[in-house]
Structure 1
Amino acid sequence: MAKTVVLDFDGVIHSYTSGWKGVDVIPDPPVDGIQEAIKEIRKYYKVVVVSTRCFQEGGLEAVRNWLDKYGITVDEVLAHKPPAIVYVDDRALTFDGDAPGLLRKIRRFKTWQGR
C-alpha cells in the first residue's frame, strides 16, 4: 500500500482568494499548477484531501463536486487528518524544536497569498 500525503483543501488546492463564503460555496479556481502536481504525486503516494468544510453538512459533497468540476483526481476526501508521511497546509508551521521561538514564528506567519 502506498504511503499517504495529505493536502489541505482551501489555500492549497482551492485558491481561496475570495475567503470564506460558506461551507458549500467554493467560488475560486484551483491554485495554478496544482492539478498537475497532484497527478505527479499520485504516481508515488496515496493523496488524501482534508478540509474543515467536511465537518459540516454539505461540505464533503461540495469539496468532491468542486474537485470533479476541475478534473482533479484524489484518492480520498476526509474531514480529519489520517496518518501520513507529510501534511501540506497553507496555514501550518513546521516545528523545528525551538519552543522558545514558537510564539515569534506564529506572530510573523503569513499565508502564501498574504506575502
Structure 2
Amino acid sequence: MRICIDLDGVISELKKEGESYYDVKPVKGAVEKIKKLKENGHYIIIYTARHMKTCNGNVAQVLAKVGGITLEWLNKYEIPYDEIVFGKPWADIYIDDNGFRFKTWDEIDDNGKNLPKSHEKSVRGDE
C-alpha cells in the first residue's frame, strides 16, 4: 500500500513561535509506527505544506527555505520514507475521498490493515 503521511501535526509536533523546525519533537508513536509500516512493506510518502503560505505557493522558495532542515530532521529521528513531497497546497481544510482523519498513532495497526481502502482502487477494481 502507498501511504501518504502529512508531516506537521502527524509526524512532527507543530512548531511553536521562535522554535526551529530542527528542534520540534516527533508526535508520540510516529517514528515507531512509520518504521513498522515500512517493515511491513508499505511505500511511505511524506508530504508537507511547510511555508507554502509564506512563500505564496512557490515550491522552489519552500525548498530553499526549509528543504534541508526538513530532511535533516527526518534523518535525525531515523524516519523511513520512500518519497517526500514539498508543495502540498496551503489550505484551511482539505476535502479528499481517500482521507483518513488522524488522531493518534495508536489507532493504526503496525501492518496498516485497518487503514481504509483507496476509493480509487475500489472503483477500478484493484483490490
Deviation at 1:89, TM superposition (A): 6.5
For residue 19 of structure 1, the aligned residue among 10, 16, 20 is 16
Deviation at 1:60, TM superposition (A): 2.2
TM-score by length of 2: 0.53
Number of the residue aligned with 2:71: 64
Deviations 1:46-78 (Å, cap 9, x if unpaired)? 001001127312322221110101111111111
Matched residue count: 83
* Distance in 2 (alpha carbons) for counterparts of 1:89 and 1:80: 20
TM-score by length of 1: 0.58
Number of the residue aligned with 1:47: 44
* Distance in 2 (alpha carbons) for counterparts of 1:21 and 1:51: 20
How many percent identity over aligned positions?
24
Number of the residue aligned with 2:2: 4
**Where in structure 1 are there 5+ consecutive unaligned residues?**
92-115
* Distance in 1 (alpha carbons) for counterparts of 2:75 and 2:43: 18
Instruction: Provide runs of 4+ in structure 1 moved above 4 Å.
Output: 86-91
Deviation at 1:87, TM superposition (A): 4.8
- 1:70 is aligned with what amino acid? Y
Higher relative contact order (CA 8 A, sep 6+): 1
Instruction: Output the aligned Cα RMSD.
Output: 2.8
* Distance in 1 (alpha carbons) for counterparts of 2:82 and 2:36: 13
Maintained 8 Å contact 1:5/1:87: no
Maintained 8 Å contact 1:49/1:76: yes
